[in-house]
Amino acid sequence: MASQEIEALTGALARLPGLGPRSARRAVLWLLKRRETALDQLVAALAAVQERLVECATCGNVDTSDPCGVCADPRRDARSLCVVEDVPDLWALDRARLFPGRYHVLGGRLSALDGVRPEDLTIDLLIERVAKGGIDEVVLAMNATLEGQTTAHYLAERLEGYPIRITQLAHGLPVGGELDYLDEGTLAQAIRARRPVG
């Protein structure tokens, strides 16, 4: 029987996406056997992130600085804005540098079922960014789910009348596909073949 501390660690790890109690126990054992190397490293990395974690006030990305690394990067094309549902989508698109512009994180998707309304997302902030000017294209990179597409439709309506091109990801995306789970080739294809909304 493991100590209370080890049980607590196992329980915390078991709550991580993709891990269950069994994998968590294996991970804990693995870490305990590598105290000097892996465990110390993990503790230091977690502490550093915990201490410096902030949400970017501009785009909603999660990073250790505000503005985040993407918003602060002068090599990014400020005239293109890619709207995503959540931070993992931004990271997925950004991993392979698929999109040269900046991002806007909505913080979710519209959902009648879950009671998510427009005011629960950062839509007003998005409109503000566009209204300020200097943006030529807004790419709606919602997931290929019913709710994702409803959200894209709603955004396209709200953005109507601004002097911008509104595009969305090409539908090479599998139906029900969540960006975070797609391979980079599929994502790159969806970005490259993006098309006007409407």
User: Tokens 């599998």 map to which residue?
Assistant: 174
Pattern 10-49, Zn ion, x by CB under 5 A? ----------------------------------------
Phi-psi region of 136 (alpha: psi -120 to 50; beta: other; left: phi over 0): alpha
By the rule CB under 5 A, 81 interacts with Zn ion: no
Span interacting with Zn ion, options 17-25, 46-54, 67-75, 165-173, rule CB under 5 A: 67-75
Query: What is the smallest separation between the CB atom of 63 and Zn ion, expressed in angstroms?
Result: 7
| Tokens linked to 193 | 């073949």
By the rule CB under 5 A, 58 interacts with Zn ion: yes
Rounded to 10°, the helix 87-95/184-192 angle is: 90
Among residues 9, 31, 59, 110, which is the contact residue for Zn ion, using CB under 5 A?
Answer: 59
Query: What is the smallest separation between the CB atom of 59 and Zn ion, expressed in angstroms?
Result: 3
Helix (H) or strand (E) holding 63: strand 62-63
Among residues 9, 27, 31, 71, which is the contact residue for Zn ion, using CB under 5 A?
Answer: 71
By the rule CB under 5 A, 68 interacts with Zn ion: yes
User: Tokens 């009648």 map to which residue?
Assistant: 112
62-87: string of b/e by CB count within 10 Å (b at 16+)? bbeeebbebbeeeebeeebbbbbbbb
| Alpha helices (H) in 40-81, listed in sequence order | 40-52, 69-72
By the rule CB under 5 A, 61 interacts with Zn ion: yes
Query: What is the smallest separation between the CB atom of 90 and Zn ion, expressed in angstroms?
Result: 9
Give contact residues for Zn ion (rule: CB under 5 A): 56, 58-59, 61, 68, 71
